[in-house]
């Protein structure tokens, strides 16, 4: 009896192995291919973890789906009147799954990339054949560090500086890398509950500085999102606090949150200046449907003093370790 049971078990195991090898691949064997695994290794850890979680969830979903279809098919094919329709349906289902199941890891990879706004990552990587694509890493803007001669170009998260008789701390650092090859940096400054936003842009050998505050984009123009989506640009002239601002520059590129080590987000900006070019309004479109606005005044580098690096770190360039 025991030998007969072993033979029956071996028979069903051979059938199972044959189905998994030639007809229906095992879900447990679904693992990233070598090429896909290399791409995953180039991404931050949180993206890799999200991929494996989503893959396991999709495997469980497909397994439940397969079991329901299998048991339903075996039950119905015993009914003579529905045998041939169910046989045809089963063959079609097997055919589609035989080709989609091996691609499950790639499908999950694309879904994760889309979720994190990286749907074009694979195309960028294949086209450039380098790991450092525009979207993946910001341009290097590091300059020699001299603690006795710190300037606004050295600012990083955690730095302190004096402005308008107050000491401010840099709490956020964003870098914009524009498609025209230029870059600029954006800092959030905090002083207790007060907040200032600072843009640092280098024009030739001179620093151009704008200090201001975030404003509600609809306080500038209630139809601004519609204009951008329908006409690909806002109006030529905007009004804010009773003053007219004229469109001057449009830039496209990627915004990198250096503080949070986040990957680049596609961004469009339109800069408007008043007639004296001493004040500006910036309209920003993040990806497609997120809109921001920023009001600022042009200031001199001499308005900033006492620039100090953070005291709780041994690496004053920690922000550069992206």
pLDDT digits (tens, 9 = 90+) for 184-208: 999 999 998 899 999 999 887 888 9
**Among 16, 8, 23, 107, CA closest to 59:** 107
Quick: pLDDT tens for 197-245. Answer: 999 998 878 889 999 999 999 999 999 999 998 888 999 999 999 999 9
SS3 letters across 147-173:
CCCCCHHHCCCCCEEEECCEEEEEEEE
What percent helix, strand, coil does the chain show, rounded to 5?
Answer: 40, 30, 30
Question: What pLDDT, on the 0 to 100 scale, is given for residue 128?
Answer: 42
Helices (H), the chain: 2-18, 34-41, 45-76, 83-100, 104-115, 121-128, 217-220, 224-231
Question: What is the number of other CB atoms lying within 10 angstroms of the CB of residue 189?
Answer: 22
Q: At what angle do helices 104-115 and 121-128 cross, to 10 degrees?
A: 100
Question: What pLDDT, on the 0 to 100 scale, is given for residue 143?
Answer: 83
The pLDDT-based confidence of 138 (bands split at 50, 70, 90) is: confident
d(CA 300, CA 306): 15
In contact, 275 and 246? CB cutoff 8 Å: yes
In contact, 123 and 113? CB cutoff 8 Å: no
The pLDDT-based confidence of 145 (bands split at 50, 70, 90) is: confident
Structure tokens at 137: 């890493």
Range 179-185 average pLDDT:
92
Q: Alpha carbon of 98 to those of 22, 34, 112: distances in Å?
A: 9, 21, 23
d(CA 211, CA 195): 10
Of the listed ranges 75-84, 255-264, 300-309, the one predicted with least confidence: 75-84
In contact, 170 and 159? CB cutoff 8 Å: yes
In contact, 291 and 284? CB cutoff 8 Å: yes
The pLDDT-based confidence of 251 (bands split at 50, 70, 90) is: very high
Range 13-20 average pLDDT:
59
Question: What pLDDT, on the 0 to 100 scale, is given for residue 1?
Answer: 62
The pLDDT-based confidence of 281 (bands split at 50, 70, 90) is: very high
The pLDDT-based confidence of 79 (bands split at 50, 70, 90) is: low
Helix, strand, or coil here: 77? coil
d(CA 113, CA 105): 12
- Checking if the pLDDT of 29 tops 60, the result is no
Question: What pLDDT, on the 0 to 100 scale, is given for residue 57?
Answer: 78
Domain ranges of the chain: 2-128, 152-320
Range 17-26 average pLDDT:
51
Question: What pLDDT, on the 0 to 100 scale, is given for residue 236?
Answer: 95
The pLDDT-based confidence of 22 (bands split at 50, 70, 90) is: very low
In contact, 37 and 109? CB cutoff 8 Å: no
In contact, 77 and 87? CB cutoff 8 Å: yes
**Among 316, 134, 296, 286, CA closest to 201:** 296
CA atoms within 13 A on the CB side of 79: 8
């Amino acid at each position: 009896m025991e030998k007969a049971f072993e033979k029956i078990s071996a028979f069903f195991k051979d059938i199972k192995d044959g189905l998994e090898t030639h007809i229906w691949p095992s879900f447990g064997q679904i693992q990233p291919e070598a090429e896909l695994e290399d791409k995953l290794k180039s991404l931050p850890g949180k993206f890799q973890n999200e991929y494996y979680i989503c893959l396991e969830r999709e495997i469980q979903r497909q397994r439940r789906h397969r079991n329901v279809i299998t048991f339903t098919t075996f039950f119905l094919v015993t009914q003579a009147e529905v045998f041939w329709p169910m046989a045809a349906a089963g063959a079609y289902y097997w055919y589609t799954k035989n080709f989609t199941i091996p691609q499950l890891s790639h499908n999950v990879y694309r879904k994760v990339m889309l979720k994190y706004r990286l749907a074009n990552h694979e195309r960028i990587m294949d086209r450039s054949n380098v790991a450092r694509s525009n979207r993946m890493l910001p341009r290097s803007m590091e300059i020699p560090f001299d603690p006795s001669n710190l300037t606004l170009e050295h600012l990083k998260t955690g730095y302190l500086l004096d402005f308008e008789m107050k000491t401010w701390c840099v709490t956020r650092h964003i870098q914009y890398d524009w498609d025209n090859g230029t870059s600029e940096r954006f800092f959030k400054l905090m002083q207790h509950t007060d907040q200032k936003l600072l843009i640092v842009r280098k024009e030739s050998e001179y620093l151009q500085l704008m200090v201001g505050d975030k404003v509600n984009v609809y306080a500038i123009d209630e139809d601004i999102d519609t204009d951008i989506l329908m006409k690909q640009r806002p109006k030529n002239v905007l009004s804010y606090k009773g003053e007219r601002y004229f469109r001057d520059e449009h830039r496209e590129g990627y915004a990198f949150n250096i503080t949070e080590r986040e990957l680049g987000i596609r961004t469009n900006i339109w800069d408007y200046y008043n007639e004296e070019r001493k004040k500006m309004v910036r309209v920003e479109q993040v990806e497609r449907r997120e809109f921001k606005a920023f009001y600022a005044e042009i200031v001199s580098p001499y308005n900033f003093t006492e620039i100090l690096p953070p005291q709780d770190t041994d690496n004053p360039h920690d922000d550069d370790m992206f």
